[in-house]
Each structure stands twice: as structure tokens, then as C-alpha cells.
Amino acid sequence: MDLVDFIAENLPSTYSFKTTRELSFVFDKDVDNIVLKVQQGNRYLKGVIMPVTILISTKDTTNAMSVWNEWVVSVSDKDVLEGTSNYYMIFQTPTVTQVFDEVSNNYYSTITIYGTIVETDGLYDISKITIDGVK
């Protein structure tokens, strides 16, 4: 799963943003900049647990918080099946970690969202199969 694409696909089309990974980030002053940081995960018997951080740089904190609060509710605690892999995602409530937009029009606020993604092979997730009433 490409998490950058997943984020972009689940944001409203009216929201003006640019999404990128941490190492390929190039600031764009005309839109909200979304930077995805995927930390080193831990491998377990049934999959990988990956901590992620989403950083949003914005001039309009109120609007961005509204968009991201809705985004977190719509994608958290959900399973996404892609191919044979299953992704379970949970994200915390967005937090304004730097508030500068009230100082001047040249400053940006930063919104931070912490999350965890559990990636498992879909076969491991099968605990019961019922075919025509036979388990």
C-alpha cells in the first residue's frame, strides 16, 4: 500500500494540498504541505507494525483541523484489503503543535497526527471459513 496515495485519495477534493514522503519533500507555499514519516516497524509472526507520523504545514489552521479531524474518523479503526495484504490503521486526534499563523501571513502552523499501521498477510487473518453451513 502506498500510504501517500491512500492519504490523498481519502481527503476531500476541495482541500488544496500536496502530499509527499519525508525524503522527497519540497515546500509549496500555495497549498497545505503534507509530509508522511514512516518509522521503522517491528516484525511479528503475523505481520509488521509500523508507526507513522503525518505533518501538515498550513496557513489556515481552522480549516485544516476540520479536514483532518474528519479524515482521522473516516480511516481509523478500519481494515483495508489490498491484494493479499490486510492493513489495519489507527490514528490519533490531530494536534496543532506549532501555531504561527496568528503572528503573520508569512508563518505556517504545523498539525501533527500520530498513527499505527498493522500490515498482515491476508491468509493469517482467516480464522474461520464457512461454506454452505460447514465450517
Q: Which three cell numbers stand for residue 50?
A: 509500523
Structural domain range at position 105: 3-125
Residue 117, phi-psi category: left (phi > 0), alpha (psi -120 to 50), beta (remainder)? beta
| Whole-angstrom distance, CA of residue 25 vs CA of residue 33 | 9
| pLDDT over threshold 80, residue 24 | yes
Contacting residues for 40 by C-beta, under 8 A, at least 6 apart? none
- Domain assignment of residue 52, yes or no: yes
pLDDT of 103 reads 57
In a domain, 132, yes or no: no
Classify residue 9: in a domain, yes or no.
yes
Q: How far apart are CA 20 and CA 54, in angstroms?
A: 10
76, 91 Cβ separation under 8 angstroms: yes
Q: How many domains does the chain have?
A: 1
CATH number at residue 10: 3.30.2000.10
> Whole-model pTM?
0.80
pLDDT tier, 135 (very low <50, low <70, confident <90, very high otherwise): low
pLDDT in tens, 81-109: 777 778 889 999 999 987 765 556 667 88
Residue 7 lies in a domain: yes
- In tens, the pLDDT along 31-44 reads 999 999 988 878 77
C-alpha gyration radius of the chain: 18
Q: Say yes or no to pLDDT of 134 above 80.
A: no
Q: Is residue 131 part of a domain?
A: no
Per-residue pLDDT at 29 exceeds 80: yes
Cα-Cα-Cα-Cα torsion 17, 119, 48, 126, nearest 10 degrees, comes to: 170
